[in-house]
Amino acid sequence: MVRIGASGALRRTVAALALTQLIGWGTTFHLPAVLAPDIAAGTGLTSAAVFGGVTIMLLVAAAMAPVAGRILDRQPARGCMVAGSLLVATGLLVLSQATGWPGFLSGWMVLGLATPFALGQAASVGIVQVAPDRARQALTLLLLFGGVASTVSWPLMIWLGGALGWRGTLLAFALAHALVCAPLHWLALPRRPAELPAAPGGAAAVSELDPDPEPVRGAFLLAAISFSLAGFATWGLPLQLIQVLQTYGHTEVTAVAVAMLFGPGQVAARIIEVVVGHRFAILTTGVVATALLPTSLLLLPLIGPTVAGAVLFTVLYGIAAGALSVVRAVGPLRLFGRRRYAVMAGWLMAPQNVAFAAGPFVFAAIRENFGTQVLVWVAAAAGFVSFAATALLARRAGG
């Protein structure tokens, strides 16, 4: 296992960002899962429209991602993330006062503007600025803690909703961003990026630490195709997983129990990456993970009707999704280097956020209009194209 604990600065940064990312995703992306009925009743909107707020947030974030990348390339992540946290607090404050469409849309749009500066994109850049030589392991740890955002935030929202109502809950979350996340970003992130040390031996290590790697032909296009289509499948299908499993003959209770294994599969992949991932080039991990997507989906019609088969499919799909989240964060560092990481990661986030936003709605529409089998084939096709793009990218980049 690669240790990242040698640097006190890195330990502080990872610990602080783990907390702020947990708070950030839990109080924005996961918000409608618990509070949608109450928000709908308080604003006169439908529950479906309330869930659409997340789509608005992701689409605005997609438009802002390249701009945020250029800013993060010129400025330390410290100030950007402080401003992002305050902007999230503003968005939640606006949303807490919404009585209809104007306030609702305004709140989610502000959250979308804040997302690239307060959540995943800026956090990844912050890690790279603190310790570019240990970014892969640190980013994986960050994703590992971020994966439990719903586990922590949902029970908290249920309790706060009962005690304060949905408006009071959003105000409490706004205060958390202003009084907890913003100060932590200011204290834990450096005033200026660290210097990149000489890379240790090993092809994978050298390639991932090179501040200016050799250009890879078609790298941006292939990475955009790979990351976006994989994200489309791994963000879209899980929300339909219970219904998919029921189609293969499982009861609702069994389907829910099996579907809950998707999250642990993601966590398991990130733990494996922390322990042994450094032995493999990040694009090799990407090839294996994208290969798992169509493989598991093509196996589903054969093994899905049995409980053991459904469990195997769900865990494999979760492992693929968890590994791919690491590849999306670290891959741009390998392809474009430290010096271009912020800008290129920002441009890659634009199509990814569109795919993330579209996935749940497209998959729901396919299942309702064409059935589960077509949904599975579409997800498998997206996974296969993602695999082909990743394999070609890894071949051109030399692993």
Number of domains forming the structure of the chain: 2
Domain assignment present for 2: no
Q: Let me know whether 315 and 223 are in one domain.
A: yes
Q: Which tokens hold the place of 321? A: 């999704």
Q: Let me know whether 345 and 226 are in one domain.
A: yes
Across the range 371-381, mean pLDDT stands at 92
pLDDT at 201 over 60: no
Q: Let me know whether 230 and 138 are in one domain.
A: no
Across the range 160-187, mean pLDDT stands at 95
Pairwise CA distance, residues 347 & 63, whole Å: 9
Q: Which of 261, 291, 282, 370 is nearest to 334 (CA)?
A: 282
| Greater model confidence, 208 or 333 | 333
Q: Which of 358, 131, 114 is nearest to 232 (CA)?
A: 358
Domain assignment present for 101: yes
Q: Let me know whether 47 and 94 are in one domain.
A: yes
Q: Let me know whether 102 and 21 are in one domain.
A: yes
Residue 258's domain is classified under what CATH number? 1.20.1250.20
Across the range 68-87, mean pLDDT stands at 89
93-101, long-range: CB < 8 A, 24+ apart: 93/170, 93/171, 93/174, 95/53, 95/170, 96/166, 96/167, 96/168, 96/170, 96/171, 96/174, 97/167, 98/39, 98/42, 98/43, 99/42, 99/43, 99/44, 100/43, 100/44, 100/45, 101/43, 101/45
pLDDT at 196 over 80: no
Q: Which tokens hold the place of 322? A: 């968890």
The burial of 350, by beta-carbon neighbours within 10 Å (0-12 exposed, 13-18 middle, 19 or more buried), is given as: buried
95-133 confidence digits (pLDDT tens): 999 999 999 999 999 999 999 999 888 888 888 888 777
pLDDT (0 to 100) of residue 194: 57
Range of the domain at 356: 213-397
Q: Which tokens hold the place of 185? A: 């970003």
Domain assignment present for 199: no
Q: Let me know whether 225 and 342 are in one domain.
A: yes
329 and 143 Cβ atoms separated by less than 8 Å: yes
Q: Let me know whether 162 and 245 are in one domain.
A: no
Q: Let me know whether 183 and 226 are in one domain.
A: no
Neighbours of 101 (CB within 10 A): 12
The CA-to-CA distance between both ends of the chain, in Å, stands at 21
Whole-number mean pLDDT of the chain? Answer: 85
**Structure pTM?**
0.80
